[in-house]
């Protein structure tokens, strides 16, 4: 359905607006859309009246609920200039709105110009305006609700960002703490590894000069730029009020460390090192810090170790490690000095115990004693040769179990007891039997082995006896070698009563007898029998006159192939007896 209105005056415009509003309501245009249509149409009509001329308002309803209640139509409103009215050059205006549902039915009459009709139209417009305002209020409430919801959401987002930022900072701090802990653990492992590697180096030698030489090699340049070792001696006493005139000048901090026994740090700034006292910079080295650590022992300080840092200063943990290393170095030097002192005593005692061999007519003697390469270089092996009252010559080689001063003292007592028993006479077996009884009562937990050979000047015979000892080896004048392995007695000192028997062997001029200890022939990996065979081969390798011409040199030639290895776990003793023609 199409309707038209001629618009030339304000009254025409009002009547047309009222008709459009009523028709829009009848076609089911919603209140808001109807109010929007009315407002737009009123504004456009005002513009048309201002411009002047006659205008044609056209309403076209197609498929509206008023015509077809089952469908949804449209309402088309057009405002065009009237042809031939002087407004042809004016631009038309048109708008289309949808009609979703039917409104209240009307009689289709044109609006009249009476006040009642106009008032009703005005009230209807106000009613639409009120509906629009209600919609607007509802939308404002909805906007306010969404604004509050958005505000709360923003607050939550801000809180979440704050939590995420705090979590990020905490995570970064945790990573930094983990990195610091890992670095500290790595530094601690490095220091412990250095101490573990340095300790065997310091304790590997029992020579204190070697330890003093190795200590700077361990520290420079990793933990110190320079190392000075001040070792005290009798003329360089740190407790002396004034230094010895010939002494080397030392930093005041080193002297204080020696007197107090506490580490000292001399520099123009505090060191902050645990367990270390701060001192002014040294006059001997004012431009660099010095760390002076005393070499402490159980008795008194041995000296002072003075270090300069590899950089500007030391890390406190490095300083603690250096103090511990110096303590270990002090103990190692003290042990080396005590060992050297005991070794000197042992060597002096050993030289005092070695016998000056006699030179009986018709018989040459040569002896060799080599201590073990480990320990105090003193043990229980011994040799001896002396005359008896009847002119016989007693030769003996023995071995007391064990090493060190205790074994040497017992060896000396056995040698003295043997000489005392030999004064009363008796053969080698009888002498060994008495030694067995003596040792059993003197030291029940100590044992010994021995072999005794007796040469008589008026008889071409050899009498010998052994107690748990390797058998003598006899070289005949023709070069043949025999092992005198007749049944020996048991070890001396065992809890067993025994009578050790004598054995007799006829000697020819030019014969050579070798008495020895097991250190010469026994090797841990090969046993004792191969060693005895090598000794016999060495004796048999000499020419007919070599042994008689140079018995001392022959002893050295015998030892050389048998002791080719430089390390010996046991003492070595050899006694050669050569019978001349």
Phi, psi of 362 (to 5 degrees): 80, 5
3-class DSSP state of 402: strand
Residue 7 has pLDDT above 90, yes or no: no
Q: What pLDDT, on the 0 to 100 scale, is given for residue 253?
A: 92
Lowest mean pLDDT among 41-50, 99-108, 233-242: 233-242
Q: What pLDDT, on the 0 to 100 scale, is given for residue 71?
A: 56
3-state secondary structure 320-383: HHHHHHHHHHHHHHHHHHHHHHHHHHHHHHHHHHCCCCCCCCCEEEEEEEECCCCCCCCEEEEE
Where is pLDDT greater, at 349 or 293? 293
Looking only at the bridges linking them, the beta strands covering 393-403 and 448-455 are antiparallel
Q: What pLDDT, on the 0 to 100 scale, is given for residue 241?
A: 38
Q: Which domains does the chain have, with CATH numbers?
A: 2-113 (3.30.565), 208-349 (3.30.450.40), 355-579 (3.60.40.10)
Rg (alpha carbons) of the chain, rounded to whole number: 63
Q: Compute the distance between CA of residue 393 and CA of residue 405 in angstroms, rounded to an integer.
A: 29
Rounded to two decimals, what is the model's pTM? 0.54
Looking only at the bridges linking them, the beta strands covering 264-266 and 277-279 are parallel
Confidence of residue 569 (pLDDT cuts 50, 70, 90): low
Q: What pLDDT, on the 0 to 100 scale, is given for residue 119?
A: 64
Confidence of residue 68 (pLDDT cuts 50, 70, 90): low
Q: What pLDDT, on the 0 to 100 scale, is given for residue 113?
A: 59
Q: What pLDDT, on the 0 to 100 scale, is given for residue 127?
A: 73
Kindly state the DSSP code that residue 312 receives in the 8-state scheme: S
Q: What is the mean pLDDT of residues 264-288?
A: 89
Q: Compute the distance between CA of residue 329 and CA of residue 197 in angstroms, rounded to an integer.
A: 13
Confidence of residue 235 (pLDDT cuts 50, 70, 90): very low
Lowest mean pLDDT among 261-265, 313-317, 430-434: 313-317
Sheet holding 264-266, edge to edge: 226-231, 303-308, 290-295, 264-266, 277-279
Lowest mean pLDDT among 51-55, 268-272, 314-318, 449-453: 51-55
Q: What is the mean pLDDT of residues 169-176?
A: 92
Q: Compute the distance between CA of residue 258 and CA of residue 229 in angstroms, rounded to an integer.
A: 12
Query: Percentage of the chain surpassing pLDDT 90?
Result: 33
Q: Compute the distance between CA of residue 214 and CA of residue 287 in angstroms, rounded to an integer.
A: 27
Lowest mean pLDDT among 186-190, 252-256, 277-281, 564-568: 564-568
Which structure tokens are listed for 208?
Answer: 């204190």
> For the chain, what's the residue count?
581
Residue range 302-325, pLDDT digits in tens? 899 999 998 888 889 999 999 999
Beta partners for residue 389, in sequence order = none
- How high is the mean pLDDT of the chain? 84
Q: Measuring CA to CA, how many Å separate 91 from each of 13, 58, 80, 95?
A: 18, 15, 7, 14
Residue 129 has pLDDT above 80, yes or no: no
324 exposure class (CB count in 10 Å sphere: 0-12, 13-18, 19+)? middle
Which of 152-156, 245-249, 370-374, 523-527 ranks highest by mean pLDDT? 152-156
Q: What pLDDT, on the 0 to 100 scale, is given for residue 54?
A: 86
79 exposure class (CB count in 10 Å sphere: 0-12, 13-18, 19+)? buried
Where is pLDDT greater, at 354 or 418? 418
Q: What pLDDT, on the 0 to 100 scale, is given for residue 578?
A: 94
Q: What pLDDT, on the 0 to 100 scale, is given for residue 19?
A: 84
Q: Compute the distance between CA of residue 554 and CA of residue 368 in angstroms, rounded to an integer.
A: 11
Q: What is the mean pLDDT of residues 30-38?
A: 83
Q: Compute the distance between CA of residue 110 and CA of residue 451 in angstroms, rounded to an integer.
A: 161
């Amino acid at each position: 359905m199409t309707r038209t209105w001629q618009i030339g005056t304000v009254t025409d415009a009002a009547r047309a607006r009222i008709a459009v509003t009523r028709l829009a309501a009848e076609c089911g245009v919603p209140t808001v859309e109807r109010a929007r249509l009315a407002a737009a149409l009123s504004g456009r009509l005002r513009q048309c009246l201002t411009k002047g001329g006659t205008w044609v308002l056209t309403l076209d309803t197609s498929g509206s609920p008023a015509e077809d209640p089952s469908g949804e139509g449209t309402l088309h409103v057009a405002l065009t200039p009237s042809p031939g009215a002087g407004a042809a050059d004016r631009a038309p205006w048109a708008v289309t709105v949808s009609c979703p549902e039917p409104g209240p039915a009307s009689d289709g009459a044109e609006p009249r110009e009476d006040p009642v009709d106009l008032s009703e139209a005005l009230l209807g417009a106000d009613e639409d305006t009120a509906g629009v305002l209600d919609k607007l209020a509802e939308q404002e409430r909805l906007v306010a609700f969404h604004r509050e919801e958005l505000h709360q959401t923003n607050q939550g987002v801000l809180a979440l960002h704050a939590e995420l930022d705090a979590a990020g900072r905490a995570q970064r701090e945790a990573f930094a703490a983990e990195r610091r802990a890992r670095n500290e653990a790595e530094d601690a492992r490095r220091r412990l590894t250095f101490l573990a590697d340095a300790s065997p180096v310091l304790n590997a030698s029992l020579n204190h000069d070697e330890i003093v030489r190795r200590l700077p090699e361990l520290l420079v340049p990793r933990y110190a730029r320079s190392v000075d070792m001040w070792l005290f001696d009798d003329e360089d006493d740190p407790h002396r009020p004034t230094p010895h005139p010939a002494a080397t000048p030392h930093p005041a901090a080193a002297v204080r460390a020696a007197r107090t026994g506490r580490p000292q740090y001399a520099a123009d700034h505090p060191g902050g090192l645990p367990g270390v006292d701060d001192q002014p910079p040294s006059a001997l080295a004012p431009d660099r810090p010095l760390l002076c650590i005393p070499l402490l022992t159980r008795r008194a300080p041995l000296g002072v170790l003075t270090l300069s840092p590899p950089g500007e200063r030391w890390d406190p943990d490095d300083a603690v490690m250096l103090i511990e290393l110096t303590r270990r170095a002090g103990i190692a030097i003290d042990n080396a000095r005590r060992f050297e002192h005991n070794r000197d005593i042992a060597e002096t005692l050993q030289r005092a115990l070695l016998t000056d061999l006699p030179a009986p007519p018709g018989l040459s003697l040569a002896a060799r004693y080599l201590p073990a390469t480990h320990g105090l270089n003193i043990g229980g092996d011994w040799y001896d040769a002396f005359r008896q009252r009847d002119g016989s010559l007693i030769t003996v080689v023995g071995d007391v179990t064990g090493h060190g001063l205790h074994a040497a003292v017992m060896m000396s007592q056995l040698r003295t007891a043997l000489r005392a028993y030999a004064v009363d006479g008796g053969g080698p077996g009888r002498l060994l039997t008495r030694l067995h009884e003596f040792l059993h009562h003197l030291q029940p937990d100590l044992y010994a082995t021995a072999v005794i050979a007796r040469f008589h000047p008026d008889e071409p015979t050899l009498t010998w006896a052994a107690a748990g000892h390797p058998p003598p080896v006899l070289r005949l004048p023709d070069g043949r070698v025999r092992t005198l392995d007749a049944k020996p007695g048991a070890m001396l000192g065992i809890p067993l009563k025994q009578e050790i028997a004598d054995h007799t062997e006829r000697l020819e001029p030019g014969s050579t007898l070798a008495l020895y200890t097991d250190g010469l022939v026994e090797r841990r990996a090969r046993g004792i029998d191969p060693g005895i065979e090598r000794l016999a081969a060495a004796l048999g390798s000499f020419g007919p006159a070599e042994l008689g011409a140079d018995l001392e040199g022959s002893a050295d030639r015998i030892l050389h192939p048998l002791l080719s290895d430089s390390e010996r776990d046991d003492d070595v003793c050899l006694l050669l007896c050569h019978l001349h023609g």
